[in-house]
Amino acid sequence: MTSRERILIALKGGIPDRVPVWEYLFSLRLQKEVMGRNTVLYEGKMQVDMAAKMGIDVVWAPVNGFCGIEDVPHNLNEIYKDEWGVTYRKNGWPIIAQVDTPIKSREDWANYKMPSVNTPGRLTILKDAIAANDKQLAIAAGFLGPFTMMTWYLMDFETLSMTLFMDPDLVHEMNEAFVEWALGSAKLAFETGGVDLFHISDDWGGTGGLLISPDQFREFFIGPFEKLVKGLKSYGVPVIMHNDGNLWEILDDLVNTGIDAYHPVEKAASMDLAKIKELYKGRVCPIGNVNNKTTMVTGTPDDVIKETLECLKTGAPGGGYILSTDHSLHDDIPLANAMALIETVKKYGRYPFNAELNNAEC
């Protein structure tokens, strides 16, 4: 079974040959160790080659214009703006935090021009990933969601918090404009051929709870998010949501939007894999959740094996499960730990489960 087939079966709630492995490859250190070199930008071909070499089943390939990811290189600490008018100071890889946002008022919005959808470089990362995908990995075309755009990029969190009360119509208008842009870009992405699933990154919570109230999410953001999900699903491919934080207060609403999978079931935010599997079996595929802040960073390979087995025993029975860390592979994670996770899934994650898994110590 190919990685593509494995991922798609799991996303539909089925039972593939083994549990698939999902990871964002967000580490230049690991990239150098695995591939022997680094890329300056987040490049589709490198991501495909590295995932295939490590044994990861899916590659995240964002559309160009995904805020925080450079389209052209910048020097360390260089100040620059992207096509959205967002200002950054170069200080990380592959996602760089903003230092200023373009919309502070209705007047700013009246004078703002959304980026064009169909630009020559809009699909550079995605097309390069598809062209390099001779190992039949699953390709996930990545987009941001409306809440993240409004709290991090078009506005900042402070401005949004005031605008929710002072000018709620402006929030609705901006959400609508962004979702239309995202759906236009998704149409271009799907028409390339080779897109196996769509992926929305939209963080709604911190470790202690939601970033705004559940009622505010329902009033301002669930509707636009659901419109985005339905638009993406109209192409006949699954939609995955990456959403950090403690989401219990709004999780029913999220699942009801029609997403096919939820990543990363963050342990540090008290998201419980067993409970999610029980509550939403057959409705949503959980992707997670080996702790990438503690176990993957400071643990030994044996610690990683132990926690990976715990996740397999919880998530894998009955299918409809993909194993990953509860965020990404980043620079603080040793290669030995990353490979311990992947090799454990390969050894113990096959269907039907055998006595080795059932008797493995956790």
- In 10 A of CB 37, how many CB atoms? 8
Q: State the Cα–Cα distance between residues 52 and 70, nearest whole angstrom.
A: 24
- Among 258, 148, 164, which Cα is nearest to 205's? 148
Structure tokens at 175: 């959400």
pLDDT at 229 over 70: yes
- Among 360, 346, 356, 343, which Cα is nearest to 17's? 346
pLDDT top residue among 31 and 358: 31
Percent of the chain with pLDDT over 90: 97
Averaged pLDDT for residues 280-306: 97
Q: Looking at residue 263, what is its pLDDT?
A: 98
Span 115-137, pLDDT tens digits: 999 999 999 999 999 999 999 99
Q: Which amino acid is at 210?
A: L
Burial class (CB in 10 A: 0-12, 13-18, 19+), 29: middle
pLDDT at 354 over 70: no
Q: Looking at residue 362, what is its pLDDT?
A: 52
Q: State the Cα–Cα distance between residues 52 and 136, nearest whole angstrom.
A: 9
Averaged pLDDT for residues 292-306: 97
The DSSP result for 62-74, as a single string, is EPTT-TTB-SS--
CA-CA-CA-CA dihedral for 116, 131, 228, 290, to nearest 10:
-130
Span 152-184, pLDDT tens digits: 999 999 999 999 999 999 999 999 999 999 999
356 pLDDT band, cuts 50/70/90, is low
The DSSP result for 53-112, as a single string, is HHT-SEEEEEPTT-TTB-SS---TT-EEE-TT--EEE--SSSB--EEE-S-SSHHHHHT-
353 pLDDT band, cuts 50/70/90, is confident
Q: Which helix (H) or strand (E) holds 198?
A: strand 197-201
Q: Which CATH architecture has domain 3-73+104-359?
A: Alpha-Beta Barrel (3.20)
Q: What residue ranges do the domains of the chain occupy?
A: 3-73+104-359
355 pLDDT band, cuts 50/70/90, is very low
SS3 288: strand
Percent of the chain with pLDDT over 70: 98
- In 10 A of CB 307, how many CB atoms? 23
**How much is the pTM?**
0.96
Spatial CB neighbours of 133, under 8 Å, sequence gap ≥ 6: 48, 59, 139, 194
Q: Which helix (H) or strand (E) holds 147?
A: helix 146-148
Q: State the Cα–Cα distance between residues 29 and 187, nearest whole angstrom.
A: 34
- Mean pLDDT rounded to a whole number for the chain: 96
357 pLDDT band, cuts 50/70/90, is low
Q: State the Cα–Cα distance between residues 360 and 310, nearest whole angstrom.
A: 10
CA distances from 222 to 8, 161, 178, 196, 216 (A): 25, 17, 14, 25, 9
Q: Looking at residue 250, what is its pLDDT?
A: 97
Task: State the first-to-last Cα distance of the chain, in angstroms, to the nearest integer.
Answer: 28
Span 71-119, pLDDT tens digits: 999 999 999 999 999 999 999 999 999 999 999 999 999 999 999 999 9
pLDDT at 314 over 90: yes
